[in-house]
Structure 1
Amino acid sequence: MNFFINQAMGIGNSGVEHAQFYRAKRLDQAGLPYRYIFLNFVPELHKAMAHWNLQDEQVLNLWEYLVLGDDYLKTGLKHRRPAGESELVVDRTNTHRKRENVTDAGIRFVEHMVKGPDKHDPENEILQVSRYRVELFNEDTGERKVMYEVIDDPHLKAVVRNIHLFNQDGEHMFFRSLNGLHRFFFEKLDAAFGHQSTFIIDRGEFADDVLMRDRIPNSKIVYIVHADQLANRDDPKYPLWNDHYEYMLEHMDAVDAVVTATKRQREDILVDFPDAGNKVVAIPVGGVRDQSASVDAAVDMHTPIRFITASRLAAEKHVDIAVKAVAKLHEERGVDVVFDIYGQGEKKAEIEQVIKDANAESYITMKGLSNDLDNIYPDYDAFISTSFSEGFGLTYIEALNAALPVVTFDARFGAQELVQDGFNGFLQPLKREDESFNIAQIVLGLERLLDADYGQLKQNTQTSVEDFQDHVTAAKWEELLNAL
């Protein structure tokens, strides 16, 4: 069985989750089995699964297994129910002391609270209320199955410790930390599916050392690199690794395959690991349908010109630069434009303020999250991205497939792989610490777009995505997994 290893998954997700959704479809196309594995306790997990059209039998959660039993590993959740209402116990000082709820998987979780000093901010004189013990019950039987402590660590914050499993295989089991519990779970998964497991690590912080340090017999490990593996290469002899991939990069011999989203990143990893050529494989994390729609090269840009961007509204996406560039194009160059921003995230309010400060509310609009971008892209003329780094750039490939030229920074790795400057879009230089330079460069990229042969650009977008057709990617996954 092929297991996609994660911590959690919710309604609003990043490119990592969408990469997994795409991979699952390609494994379906190749006839390869898989399960999504989640290590965190997620009370609304199945609501999120329904949102992303995942079936309950495809999804296995550590804590649901511990409560629901061994059959769950083979069948997934058999019966989903309406989630319960939260029951809260408050003491005479109006302090929360206990909270209970029932998940849609039938798990009653009881959180016990404690009040004490703020360990993370000694100057804060206000006492903090936090969890100190959690119990999980099977709602149908009333049996308590799990109890653990939550330690408020000054450095690591909430840490799960001292985990008790009641009547687990007829025994009372105890794990000092999550590492031992995770190992137990992985071994159970391996046994349930015949001891021929391939662990595909997408979120490795709570899994990589557990799986790699002491390999489960006959298991295989595939590590997915979703972002730049480097924090920097200021010193060529001693590159600084991205924290998310540090353990894997320091134990490269313990994995069977490392999958990057682009050929360029594969080449960059081989700079530091020149002997790993047979282990590092490039497989796209997004693609286009095997039969792409035809493009009418005679179609002109709209009036006003319609630009779109779509991404998480996060700091690393720098959407504010796109806003300022479009406003500058409109106000200083007199270009009649519409710019729609799709996505949600913690920078939403800041971006709204940038739009307001630029007096651009009449032509720059926040559109919120959309799950239907395939049908939205054709309403626009070009795609703008101001991300400083993309492991792949799922929205780039989606936009190109919809015949939208892409204007973005010449950033590693997705932009450099997917956007060919002057052919299907425009790549502009980037200076990370110089916002004025970056804004000016995006304006220049947009001006280059306006001066180009737009019909030819649209035709070229289709040529540029031919190697990313679904059946090509499905064949790459089939070849990799069958060769392990």
Structure 2
Amino acid sequence: MNFFINRAMGIGNSGVEHAQFYRGELFDKAGIPYRYVFVELVRELHEAMDAWNLRNDQVINMWEYFVYGDKYLDHGPLYKQAVKSDMVIDSTNTNRMFTSQTSSGLTIIEHMVKFPDPKKPNMLLVSTARVEIFNAQTGKRMVMFEYDNEPHREFLLKSIHLFDFKGQHLYFENEVLLQKFFFEQLNAYYEGKNTFIIDRGEESEAALYKMRDLGIKIIELVHADHLSDRNDPKHPLWNNYYEYMLMHMDKVDRVVVATKLQREDLLVDFPNDTNKIVAIPVGGIRDKKPKAKVQKKNNGVFKFVSVSRLAEEKHIDLCVRAIAKLHEAGHKVSLDIYGQGETKNKLEEVILELSAGDYIKLKGHSNHVDQVYPQYDAFISGSFSEGFGLTYIEALNAALPILSFNARFGALELIHDGENGFLASFDRGNDDDSVEQLAKAGEKMLAANYSNLVRNARRSVSEFKDSVLAKKWGDLIDEL
């Protein structure tokens, strides 16, 4: 069996989850068995699965497994219940106990405590100290654990109890030991060659590296730039998310990156790992040739679109400011932004500040971006770092030229300046200059031969067909 290891998933997912979903489609095409494995306690997991058309027998959640046991691995939870929650508040108007019921049949009780704010000693905070998980159908308590508020790593799991798990009461001091036990159970249940494909989670890495003697295979996925900036000595060498893996390369069978450029860059530091480091894109295009793009005049307005999580590292605010500059210069342009996230309020403020509400709009989340792209003329991205840029592939396949910063690695590999889009330089410490450069690149796009951009956009992704990428994964799994 092949396990895609991740912390969690939700309704609005990051590129990591989208990459997993796409890999699942490729494995289906290649006839390779797999399961999505999530190790966080996700209350609305099954609602999210429904939104993304994932079946119960495709997904394994560590906590649901500890409640239901091995039978759960074949078909998921069989007991369903209505979702509800209740908060107990004490006489000081302080939250003390939060009870929630998941649709998958778990009852979760969170016990809360007051504690001093480490940053503001005179202030008290209220947070979860202990969690109990019950099988709602039987009423039996199956799991209990505590949180340790470690100053530099926020909340860590500790003192974890599994009650009556296969007739035993088990105790684990921390999450790494718990995950190791969990992965050992999966390895024992699914006989034959088991490959653990890690998309996210240092705890999962630490747990699986301890299991090498069981004959498992480990593949690590790198979804972003593994360096902050190779040419900037002010930044640390490794991206924190990949540091643990890069310091333990001997424990890994394969490292999969999304672009040839990133593979070449990793080989600078690991020149002897030419066979270990593999480039397989995390997104692709359908084998069936898409319909020809219908070009519309849109009343003379050139319509840009952005599809992204609304997160600081995506720098959507720079896109907003660049489009506003084009508008102020007299160009008929518009921008629709699809996505949700923590910077929504900030973006609303920027749009209001620029009086740009008539031509720049937040459109919210969409699960059907393939239907979104054809409505627009070009795609815009403000990211300074994209390991691949799944949305780049989607946009190019929809014949949308791309306006972006010349960030490693996805933009530099997928966008050919002046052919299928335009690239702008950026300065991490100077947003004004970055906006100016992005607007100048936008000027070039508006002045270019648009028909040629459209033609080149679709041609540029012909090597990313599903069947080609499915074969790459099939060959990789077979050779381990």
TM-score tier after normalising by the smaller chain length: over 0.9
Distance 1:394 1:169, change over 3 A: same
Aligned-partner Cα distance in 1 for 2:98–2:439: 53
Correspondence for 2:129? 132
One-letter amino acid matched to 2:391: T
Correspondence for 1:199? 196
Deviation track 1:336-395 (CA, whole Å, cap 9, x = no partner) reads 112111111111111111111112111111111111211111111111111111111111
Tell me which moved more, 250-259 or 154-163: 154-163
Match of 2:382 among 381, 386, 405: 386
Measured after TM superposition, the shift of residue 299 of structure 1 is 6.5
Q: Is this contact kept in 2: 1:110–1:135, CA < 8 A?
A: yes
Correspondence for 2:282? 285
Q: Is this contact kept in 2: 1:228–1:242, CA < 8 A?
A: yes
Structure 2 counterpart SS, 1:398: helix
Deviation track 1:309-346 (CA, whole Å, cap 9, x = no partner) reads 11111111111111111111111x21111211111111
Correspondence for 1:433? 429
One-letter amino acid matched to 1:127: L
Aligned-partner Cα distance in 2 for 1:64–1:365: 40
Deviation track 1:176-230 (CA, whole Å, cap 9, x = no partner) reads 1111111110000011110421000001222111111341512100000000001
Q: Is this contact kept in 1: 2:142–2:164, CA < 8 A?
A: yes
Mapped pair 1:356 → 2:355: no
Tell me which moved more, 406-415 or 141-150: 141-150
Correspondence for 1:448? 444
Measured after TM superposition, the shift of residue 247 of structure 1 is 1.0
Distance 1:360 1:144, change over 3 A: same
Structure 2 counterpart SS, 1:40: coil
Mapped pair 1:3 → 2:3: yes
Q: Is this contact kept in 2: 1:298–1:455, CA < 8 A?
A: no
Measured after TM superposition, the shift of residue 298 of structure 1 is 7.6
Mapped pair 1:47 → 2:43: no
Aligned-partner Cα distance in 2 for 1:358–1:94: 42
Correspondence for 1:154? 151
Aligned-partner Cα distance in 2 for 1:191–1:220: 14
Question: Counterparts of 1:19-168 in structure 2 under 5 Å?
Answer: 19-83=19-83, 85-118=84-117, 120-123=118-121, 125-168=122-165
Match of 2:237 among 222, 236, 240: 240
Structure 1 counterpart SS, 2:202: coil
Q: Is this contact kept in 1: 2:180–2:211, CA < 8 A?
A: no
Deviation track 1:281-317 (CA, whole Å, cap 9, x = no partner) reads 1111111111222436987676111111111111111
One-letter amino acid matched to 1:7: R
One-letter amino acid matched to 2:184: E
Match of 1:401 among 397, 400, 411: 397
Aligned-partner Cα distance in 2 for 1:403–1:131: 49
TM-score by length of 2: 0.96
- Superposition misfits of 4+ residues, deviation over 4 angstroms: 296-302
Mapped pair 1:370 → 2:366: yes
Mapped pair 1:474 → 2:473: no
Match of 1:304 among 298, 301, 304: 301
Unaligned runs of 5+ in 2: none
Distance 1:73 1:24, change over 3 A: same
Tell me which moved more, 302-311 or 22-31: 302-311
Structure 1 counterpart SS, 2:228: strand
Match of 1:337 among 333, 340, 345: 333
Aligned-partner Cα distance in 2 for 1:378–1:229: 33
Equivalenced residue count is 479
Q: Is this contact kept in 1: 2:2–2:196, CA < 8 A?
A: yes
Q: Is this contact kept in 1: 2:133–2:144, CA < 8 A?
A: yes
Aligned-partner Cα distance in 1 for 2:82–2:338: 31
Distance 1:252 1:266, change over 3 A: same
One-letter amino acid matched to 1:109: I
Q: Is this contact kept in 1: 2:77–2:105, CA < 8 A?
A: no
Aligned-partner Cα distance in 2 for 1:315–1:405: 24
Correspondence for 2:174? 177
Provide the alpha-carbon RMSD of the alignment.
Answer: 1.8
Distance 1:441 1:391, change over 3 A: same
Structure 1 counterpart SS, 2:383: coil
One-letter amino acid matched to 1:290: D
Q: Is this contact kept in 1: 2:376–2:400, CA < 8 A?
A: yes
Distance 1:325 1:192, change over 3 A: same
Unaligned runs of 5+ in 1: none
Aligned-partner Cα distance in 1 for 2:125–2:286: 52
Measured after TM superposition, the shift of residue 156 of structure 1 is 2.4
Deviation track 1:153-178 (CA, whole Å, cap 9, x = no partner) reads 23322221111111112111111111
Q: Is this contact kept in 1: 2:285–2:394, CA < 8 A?
A: yes
Q: Is this contact kept in 2: 1:74–1:192, CA < 8 A?
A: no
Distance 1:312 1:148, change over 3 A: same
Aligned-partner Cα distance in 2 for 1:34–1:450: 45
Q: Is this contact kept in 1: 2:293–2:374, CA < 8 A?
A: no
One-letter amino acid matched to 1:99: F
TM-score by length of 1: 0.95
Aligned-partner Cα distance in 1 for 2:229–2:454: 35
Aligned-partner Cα distance in 2 for 1:171–1:249: 37
One-letter amino acid matched to 1:194: E
Q: Is this contact kept in 2: 1:322–1:439, CA < 8 A?
A: yes
